[in-house]
Amino acid sequence: IPIRVVGLIEDDETKIGKPMINIIISSNKIVHQVKHDGVLISSYTNHDLIFQKLMNLGYPKEKILYFFN
């Protein structure tokens, strides 16, 4: 599946504002501000925690994809 990355979300405040693959790392607050089709959770160990944080932000669960099933 071809994916175009429009943002990177990170909880670690020491990483926010720094670039990764030519995209600035942001907090999860951008999830409602940037036009996108969905969120890909790429963490293997913290996917449940990340999912819950997105739910707490009111993010639609049908738009969440997992890199690791």
The DSSP result for the chain, as a single string, is: -------EE-S-TTTTT-EETTEEEE-GGGGGTS--S-EEE--SSSHHHHHHHHHHTT--GGGEEES--
Is the pTM above the cut of 0.75? yes
Mean pLDDT of 27-43: 93
Query: What's residue 33's pLDDT?
Result: 94
Query: What's residue 3's pLDDT?
Result: 83
Mean pLDDT of 62-69: 91
